[in-house]
Amino acid sequence: MWTIIFVSLYIFLALFIVLSILLHGAKPTKTLAWLLTIFTIPVGGILLYILLGRNRRKNTLLKLKNTVVVNPLLKESASLNNKYEKLRSLIHKNCNSPLTDDNLLQALKNGKITFESIFEALRKAEHQIHLQYYIFEEGELADSLLRLFQNKISQGVQIRMIYDGVGSFSLRKAYLKKLESIGVEVYPFLPFKLGRFLRSVNYRNHRKIIVIDGIVAFTGGINISDKYLKGDPNLGNWHDMHLRIEGQAACHLDAVFSSDWYLVSQKAILPVSPAAVTDRSGAGKLVQIVSGGPDDDFPVLEQAYFTMINQAKDYLYITNPYIIPGPAIIQALQTTALSGVDVRLMISEKVDSKIVGWCVRSYFEALLKSGISIYLFPDGFLHSKIIVSDDAISTIGTANLDDRSFEQNYEVNAIIYDADFARLLKEDFLKDSTICRRLSYEEHLKRSWGEKLKEGFGKVFSPVL
């Protein structure tokens, strides 16, 4: 009797999910993959779909667009009269982020330099500090921040902090209570709760943002973790790139934080007005902040990357540990390379996840065959997310080249329309490439059948990684 009831309920649920996938499936490849999963893996297939497969744009969980008040002070302060005008317009229309000028920028490579700059800026805070991270781990860095926060709060500085409920899962309640006891307002993003686990575990806030007084900001790939200073016991040195911004673009990062703050706390805060930022009379850089999440109408980060790839005319250098391109991105990369553009990818040779590593390598053959150069970085783990092209445009941020960053995570990048900054990142790429191993197409074809099998296994999971 109970068996019949269970089987009937299971069949009803499976049919309901299949109908939902057919009605709302965003991509044919994903739709087919999930249908096969549900039909071939009893019970487990349905659980996997509930955890990882639902189309957030069709079934919005947080309804962010309906709850956040957009800052009316964010207005266009610059213009472009070149081929990147379409990219500027795309980003502005997608996430209401206008182009800003007069920004002072500093590329911060690796943990030591980055945290020295962050702590220096934090010590100068006069009014407020906004901080949010995907990974916030306890250790020497976290303890140093706690002491600094206590000092700044005693000076009347207001501090707000967001941490991701899954990425910072190891963060103990004892540390959080210390933050709250000294006056830090701290909230988790979609914390790990059993009742909400199935609905929210797949949607994470991958952003890394610090904004001081609405004028100085930091973003990029670096999380709060001692591994950026001491290395990782398994992977070795942890390499990454961060960005310090002083100017109106910092106000736009503050607006992104303010949206997320309302999301986690239901408290509205008005970001600092760009008019409050000191005018440097055109001495700074053109910067546009692009932020995206699973409840946006369109995958703005994917569209921005796609546009940058297609507009490259001379060279396109990409540094990223998780290059798992969907059909649009891989076609854009191949088309650009086959048209004569020097396309180079720098990827960490060591991986922090075997399955993800197999999946990344499963695309190597198609990329190499189209003339794309692949450089494998051997010194520890390379975690940077950088694109630079044509001595004209570049981006540093949190988004990887994979569906997770494009479809399921909240991400943020800075797009920099500046020749000098692009050349700086290009020279850094070329310098790092001298210690890399360049993988040839012929060498890759000679890999063992065991490696090919692993890659095939990894690629099966590419829609959900």
Residues serving a catalytic function are 206, 208, 213, 383, 385, 390
Nearest to 109 by CA among 383, 393, 415: 383
CA pair distance 374, 47, nearest whole angstrom: 37
Q: CB-hemisphere CA count at 13 Å for 336?
A: 29
| b (16+ CB within 10 A) / e for 4-16 | eeeeeeeeeebee
> b/e for 402-422, b at 16 or more Cβ within 10 A?
bbbbbbbbbbbbbbbbbeebb
Task: Give the whole-angstrom CA distance, residue 407 versus residue 134.
Answer: 16
Among 233, 400, 232, 246, smallest CA distance to 325 is for 400
Ramachandran region, residue 224 (left: φ > 0; alpha: ψ -120 to 50; beta: rest): beta
CA distance 177 to 183: 10
Alpha-carbon distance values, 8 to 40, 301, 460 (Å): 17, 42, 30
> What helix, strand, coil percent values describe the chain, rounded to 5?
45, 20, 35
SS3 label, residue 390: coil
C-alpha triplet 199, 58, 333: angle, nearest 5°: 100
